[in-house]
Amino acid sequence: MAENGYANAVLVTTEWLAEHLGEDGLVVAEVDENPDLYDEGHIPGAVKLHWREDLQDPVERDIVDRETFEQVLGERGIGDSTAVVLYGDKNNWFAAYAYWYLKVYGHADVRILDGGRQKWIDEGRELTTDVPSPTPKSYSAADRDETIRAYRDQVREWLEGADVSLVDVRSPGEYAGDLIAPPGYEQEGAQRAGHIPTAVSIPWASAARDDGHLQDRVGPARATGAGASPRRRRSRRTAGSGSGAPTRGSCSASCSATSASATTTARGRSGAT
């Protein structure tokens, strides 16, 4: 059992969360790609975390500093031993991003709601527009865990032959070089198209089933579209370890490394680098 009385887990079901809503020692946080969804209706008692305004440094392309992080969590009633359940839209896209943030700063008990916002709504479970007013808590973050993030120069070294796999979780069009932002978003012109050499394409959407549940197993997928040229296909290789939590990381293409024989994940939208 964890210190807060809950068994350790990464994923929790909607049934589990419905049973434990409102309990002391548990905070639910919604983190949406579209932050306005929270105001339209959220799980009762859930606090809002804005993936950019709360978690990203407003000047540097990096996560917020330790002091700011402590303030953000403390204001939302989260203490050092609080169990935090994250959920959001688009198959928990940015909820998983927030999961990585909390782990970088050493939060021990953080989970993701399997199926996210979509499954909760599909099951007809309660939503509310009432905004909670949690009692602030003192929060003390750990030093940043640099073992779960990667930087540009590290990735460049790995490309020289280290036993590290690169996974690109952006859309197939971005991977192929046809787009420089996800489909439906403004195509910012200050970016370079394409992907890091040797990276395997496993789009974030492929990690979830139609009902929003995370897939039991996710494998490499070929980039599609006119831009997926034979040359690009030959540049890809399927590396050894492609499993693990699809968390978000850092480096110039936003990568997350887990170990010497790790899988490194490239993010889709702008975020910590």
**Whether residue 96 has pLDDT greater than 80:** yes
3-state secondary structure of 101: helix
Question: Average pLDDT of 52-66?
Answer: 93
Determine the straight-line distance between the first and last CA of the chain, rounded to whole angstroms: 34
Range with lowest mean pLDDT among 5-14, 67-76, 214-223, 230-239: 230-239
pLDDT of residue 247: 34
* Residue 59: pLDDT band with limits 50, 70, 90: very high
Q: What tens digit of pLDDT does each residue of 232-267 get?
A: 333 333 333 233 333 333 332 233 333 333 344 444
Q: What tens digit of pLDDT does each residue of 26-44 get?
A: 999 999 999 999 999 999 9
Concatenate the DSSP letters of all residues of the chain into one string: --TTSSPP-SEE-HHHHHHHTT-TTEEEEE--SSTTHHHH-B-TT-EE--TTTTTB-SSSSSBPPHHHHHHHHHHTT--TT-EEEEE-HHHHHHHHHHHHHHHHTT-S-EEEETTHHHHHHHTT---B-PPP-PPP----PPPP-GGG---HHHHHHHTTT-S-EEEE-S-HHHHHTS-SS-TTS---TTS--S--TB-EE--GGGGB-TTSPBPS--------STT--HHHHHHB---S---S-----BTTTTB---STT-EEEE-SSS---
pLDDT of residue 189: 66
The model's pTM = 0.77
CATH number of 146-273: 3.40.250
pLDDT of residue 19: 96
Contacts of 17 (CB under 8 A, 6+ apart): 28, 43, 85, 113
Q: Looking at the domain covering 11-144, what would its CATH class be?
A: alpha beta
Chain-centroid distance, C-alpha 217: 18
Q: What tens digit of pLDDT does each residue of 110-129 get?
A: 999 999 999 999 999 999 99
- Specify whether the CB–CB gap between 46 and 149 falls below 8 A: no
* Residue 6: pLDDT band with limits 50, 70, 90: low
pLDDT of residue 177: 92
**Whether residue 84 has pLDDT greater than 70:** yes
pLDDT of residue 257: 30
Could you count the other beta carbons within 10 Å of the beta carbon of residue 98? 26
pLDDT of residue 230: 31
* Residue 7: pLDDT band with limits 50, 70, 90: low
Write down the domain spans for the chain: 11-144, 146-273
Q: Would the CATH topology of 11-144 be identical to that of 146-273?
A: yes
Q: What tens digit of pLDDT does each residue of 131-154 get?
A: 999 999 999 999 999 999 999 999
Mean pLDDT, the chain, integer:
80
- Higher pLDDT among residues 7 and 12, named by residue: 12
**Whether residue 2 has pLDDT greater than 70:** no
Share of the chain above pLDDT 70, in %: 75
Question: Average pLDDT of 12-16?
Answer: 96
The residue type of 62 is D
* Residue 206: pLDDT band with limits 50, 70, 90: confident
